[in-house]
Amino acid sequence: MKTMTKPNPAPGNFFAALAPFASFNELVEDRHFAPVPEDWTVFVADIAGSTKAIESGRYKDVNTLGASCIVAAQNAMGATPFPYVFGGDGATMVVPPEAAERVGAALAGVRKMGRERFGMNVRVGAVKVRELLDENQVIEVARYRLVSRQTVAMFRGGGVRRAEELVKTREEEYALPENAAGASDLAGLSCRWQPIASEKGTMLSILVSARSSDPSETYRAVLRDLDETLGGDSGRANPVHVSSMSYRPLLQLLRDERRYHASVFSLSFLRRAFEIGAAVLVFGRGLRPPGLDADRYAAAMSGHADFRKFDDVLRMVVDCTTEQAGRVRRRLESRRRRGELHYGLHESADALMTCFVQGLEDGDHIHFVDGGDGGYALAAKELKRQARDQADA
């Protein structure tokens, strides 16, 4: 995609000042993107060895730790919005200079928690935007509106992918220091719904990376193909079906919650246990206390679902028929053979949803979606294999 020449908004309100767009397919439009200020920092977090963990059945833990990084960063930022993207087995966040130290401490705290309580290595690193610009790597960002007060970031320009590469391949240089860990506030993190079963046949995780001379046109064509294949609009394939969702059992939720606290006797755990118990009564048992419009919140979840995104790679999790999934593969394969793109697909019976709930009103919650059995991570294996095959050809 073309890079922008317009000046940055004032760094203090850079992301908040961007006008959001409401039609997902407009992610190919230059007018929605602006360059990230050079004094901002890209934080990259991913679960090292996530594929093996997923293959051993721990894909829920992988998803939860990835989402934990976003929650910890946002709570460290307070009410200030910042651009981020959830990738299933990790997350990428871009923050202003005044918040970099406290966000880094919060992310290092998630890394410490991952090691001590999950037995997983959350790899976390930081790369200055200025350093990426010195390598002629650009980071541009846009805001896509899910609902009136909830937006998600879209990244383009190659800088985000380069930051991920640096953190993964030069870990000693870019990893956050071991002594950087601070307290991680995970208030609002919620992983209480059972996997969401497909209603149409299969949950399809899709990754597409353009490699043509005109990436914008490639993505435009792919989005058009997906709309045609998925019933006229990929938004109709939203995998979050409230009517078929169910809450997880109380004891299971409490066992999982223990890992986020130093002790089950801590005040933080006791508060969360009370909150979980109340939520099970409301969402699991149908209790409807006065003044709490739980039905409205539940009905709004699909609109707050982050099931389509872009961060130099087009990412989607959609509920479709097996015939539609086959057509998606055939059309992507045709474009791959013409040298336009690489892609990865993964089919599963359900989707996972990890929630960040700061309130029950519209705009106060967001729901991160991944395909079941490690959807994005396993789709990435196919995409990476295609890229290796191309490089070796």
Q: Is residue 323 part of a domain?
A: yes
Q: Is residue 5 part of a domain?
A: no
- Taking the CA atoms of the chain, what radius of gyration do you get in angstroms? 20
Indicate whether 306 pLDDT > 60. yes
Whether residues 288 and 367 share a domain: the answer is no
For tokens 């690489």, the residue is 342
Whether residues 150 and 254 share a domain: the answer is no
Q: Is residue 157 part of a domain?
A: yes
Whether residues 130 and 265 share a domain: the answer is no
Mean pLDDT lowest for which of 2-11, 49-58, 318-327?
2-11
> Residue 79: is it exposed, middle or buried by C-beta count within 10 angstroms (0-12/13-18/19+)?
exposed
Whether residues 274 and 367 share a domain: the answer is no
- End-to-end Cα separation, the chain, in angstroms: 25
Domain containing 257 equals: 246-298
pLDDT exceeding 90 applies to what percent of the chain? 84
- 369, 240 in Cβ contact below 8 A? yes
Q: Is residue 16 part of a domain?
A: yes
- CB atoms closer than 10 angstroms to residue 110: 24
Count of domains for the chain: 2
Confidence tier at 2 by pLDDT (50, 70, 90):
very low
Task: Report the C-alpha gap between 262 and 231 in whole angstroms.
Answer: 48
Cβ contacts of 301 within 8 Å, gap of 6 or more: 240, 242, 365, 367
Identify the pLDDT of residue 8.
44
Indicate whether 289 pLDDT > 70. yes
Whether residues 95 and 155 share a domain: the answer is yes
Whether residues 276 and 325 share a domain: the answer is no
Confidence tier at 10 by pLDDT (50, 70, 90):
very low
Q: Reading across the β-sheet that carries 121-128, which strands appear in turn?
A: 84-86, 90-95, 41-48, 121-128
Identify the pLDDT of residue 5.
38
